[in-house]
Amino acid sequence: MRYYLLLGSNIGDRMGNLATAREYLKRVGLEEIQRSQIYESLPWGFRPQPLFLNQVVAIDTSLSPLELLRIIKNIEARMGRRKTIRYGPRKIDIDILMIKGRSYQDEDLIIPHSHLPHRPFAHLPLRELIPLPLPPISKGEVWSVT
């Protein structure tokens, strides 16, 4: 199955945090197939915090969605992610956005990500990898990092 993961960081070395997350994914056998550019965006949910860097990576794996979620949570913990303010600042955040041609739902996980239509910072990088009929992005909310 092809999964699309959103990586995000707004604490410390944001660019380095994204690279470290990609390296951890690779170390556990989740080789990226595609990678978007990195985008800088305003925070979503809890606003008084630093800007985020976001990137979408596509991986192919036979893991179930819950197995992948367990690995992602482990990577976040290894990188120092701790439970704090909901939608607050974080060194790393990894979300499963979509599974190509599939959906999934249980009490712990909904794919496509339930907030995807409301998160412009995920639209641009995801659109680089797959064409999607997503809501328009308001100017000023997301911009590309060069």
**pLDDT tens per residue, range 7-57:** 999 999 999 999 999 999 999 999 899 999 999 987 766 667 788 899 999
- The domain of 28 spans 2-144
- Cα–Cα distance measured from residue 109 to residue 81, given in angstroms and rounded to the nearest whole number: 19
- 91 φψ region: left (φ > 0), alpha (ψ -120 to 50), beta (else): alpha
**H helix or E strand, kind and range, residue 100:** none
pLDDT, one tens digit per residue, over 44-99 is: 666 677 888 999 999 999 999 999 999 999 999 999 866 766 666 788 999 998 88
- Cα–Cα distance measured from residue 115 to residue 119, given in angstroms and rounded to the nearest whole number: 6
Q: What is the CATH number of the domain that holds 73?
A: 3.30.70.560
- Cα–Cα distance measured from residue 131 to residue 1, given in angstroms and rounded to the nearest whole number: 18
Is 60 one of the catalytic residues? no
Given the residues 60, 95, 108, 127, select the one marked as catalytic: 95
> Among 60, 30, 67, 53, which residue's Cα sits nearest to residue 129?
60
Q: What is the pLDDT of residue 131?
A: 76
Given the residues 14, 22, 90, 119, select the one marked as catalytic: 90
Given the residues 14, 78, 82, 93, select the one marked as catalytic: 93
- Cα–Cα distance measured from residue 25 to residue 76, given in angstroms and rounded to the nearest whole number: 11
CA 10 to chain CA centroid, Å, is 13
| Number of domains, the chain | 1
Q: Is the Cβ–Cβ distance between 3 and 98 less than 8 Å?
A: yes
Q: Is the peptide bond before 112 cis (omega within 30 degrees of 0)?
A: yes
Given the residues 14, 22, 81, 119, select the one marked as catalytic: 81
**H helix or E strand, kind and range, residue 97:** strand 93-99
Task: Give me the long-range contacts of 114-117 (CB less than 8 A, separation at least 24).
Answer: none
Is 81 one of the catalytic residues? yes
> Among 62, 74, 55, which residue's Cα sits nearest to residue 31?
62
Is 95 one of the catalytic residues? yes
